[in-house]
Amino acid sequence: MHNRFRITAILVAIGIIVMAAAMVLPVRRAAVAAEPTVTPLVIAVPTNVAPAATSATTAPKTTGATTGVKATGNLVSANQASLAFQIGGRIKTITAKEGDRVKAGDVLASLDTTVLETQVMQAQALFAAASAAFDKASKGPSADELQLAKSNLDLAKAALSQAQTAYDRAGGASNSFIGLLPQSLALQQATGAYQAAQAAFNLALSHPTTAELAAVVAQVAQAQLALDLAKQTITNAKLIAPFDGTVVWLAPHVGESANPGVPAAIVADLSQMQVLVNVDENTLAGIRVGQPATITVDALGGKTFTGRVKKTGLLGTSTGGVVSVPVTIDIDPSDALIYPGLSASVEFQVAP
């Protein structure tokens, strides 16, 4: 009885398990059916496309067998001068304006030189006096001066002869009292006068002496120096074009005071323009004198010019850790109006 009860309990438990499994299986199948089907994504990469560059530096543009290296700079004139008054003063005249073409020696502006001109006249007078003194001294005494000296000597000789005769008549040296007589004093005076006349005549014959010539030559040289200095001072009161060119900048106005050494005008030769750029040291090795270059000027709407490397500088400068060297490019002649100060881009053709 007991065994039968155990068998019955086992059968009931198995039935419960089977019923539970039958209830869970449909739910599991429904959940699986509800999940979406995932299809793997396959991306085809073309084999003829190069990978993108990872560096922020733009590589030089490559054209054929050459590589274009670009740099920016400014236009300059191959021959340019900044002019300034050498002395101070008030501006009296301005004879040029910006844009005028001038010749070497043309006066662009001048100061009031009224006082300076008076100084020149004084220096000229002193020079004339020194020159006259030199002419007189170098020629020696005139015929009249020699004749006068000779006449004085003859008169002194005659007076001495007369005094000597009177002295002898009074007993001369044999007279113990001759020194007390007037004949003795007259002879002494006549002798002194004769000696003075003889010296004057000899001196007239000996002029000019070496010392006298040296003195008058020094006076002339000093007067000439003073005159040249006065004239140069007037020249320094003018702005003068040093060469043929164009006035690209003119600052002063009539009536203003000018300070010495302060730039007042710039003259440039616009027939030969250049571009000055700074090239980093890594690129410099590919640049040679005579190498062609293309110049683009933004101020002319991107107009391009041709040119060639004129020279490379010999002194490098460091800015922000980058060492660069100045390079000068000659621009080929053109009818376009370009002038100093404009910015320009230069592209060199450098062998790779």
Instruction: Give the pLDDT confidence of 217-275 residue by residue, as tens digits.
Output: 999 999 999 999 999 999 999 999 999 999 999 999 999 999 999 999 999 999 999 99
What is the spatial distance between Cα 2 and Cα 8, in angstroms, rounded to a whole number?
Answer: 10
pLDDT at 53 over 60: no
What is the spatial distance between Cα 243 and Cα 103, in angstroms, rounded to a whole number?
Answer: 6
More confident residue, 77 or 150: 77
What is the average per-residue pLDDT within 70-93? 94
CA 296 distance to own-chain centroid: 28
237: three-class secondary structure by DSSP? coil
**Confidence (pLDDT) at 146:** 78
* Mean of per-residue pLDDT scores for the chain: 81
Q: Nearest Cα to 260, choosing from 238, 243, 292?
A: 238
pLDDT at 184 over 70: yes
- The confidence band for 10, taking pLDDT boundaries of 50, 70 and 90, is low
pLDDT at 178 over 80: no
**Confidence (pLDDT) at 219:** 95
162: three-class secondary structure by DSSP? helix
**Confidence (pLDDT) at 67:** 57
pLDDT at 140 over 80: no
Topology classification of domain 80-112+237-267: OB fold (Dihydrolipoamide Acetyltransferase, E2P) (2.40.50)
Residue 225 near residue 239 (C-beta atoms within 8 A): no
Highest-confidence segment of 11-15, 30-34, 53-57: 11-15
User: Which residues face 72 on adjacent strands?
Assistant: 345
Nearest 5 degrees, angle CA 108-CA 333-CA 340?
A: 45
Which secondary-structure segment (H or E) carries 278? strand 273-280
Nearest 5 degrees, angle CA 125-CA 131-CA 134?
A: 145
Architecture of domain 61-78+272-350: Beta Barrel (2.40)
**Residue 131 CB-half CA count within 13 A:** 10
Q: Nearest Cα to 275, choosing from 258, 256, 245, 299?
A: 299
Domains of the chain, residue spans: 61-78+272-350, 80-112+237-267, 120-214
What is the spatial distance between Cα 99 and Cα 176, in angstroms, rounded to a whole number?
Answer: 106
Strand 101-102 relative to strand 245-250, pairing: antiparallel
Q: Nearest Cα to 330, choosing from 305, 300, 304, 349?
A: 305
Which secondary-structure segment (H or E) carries 19? helix 2-34
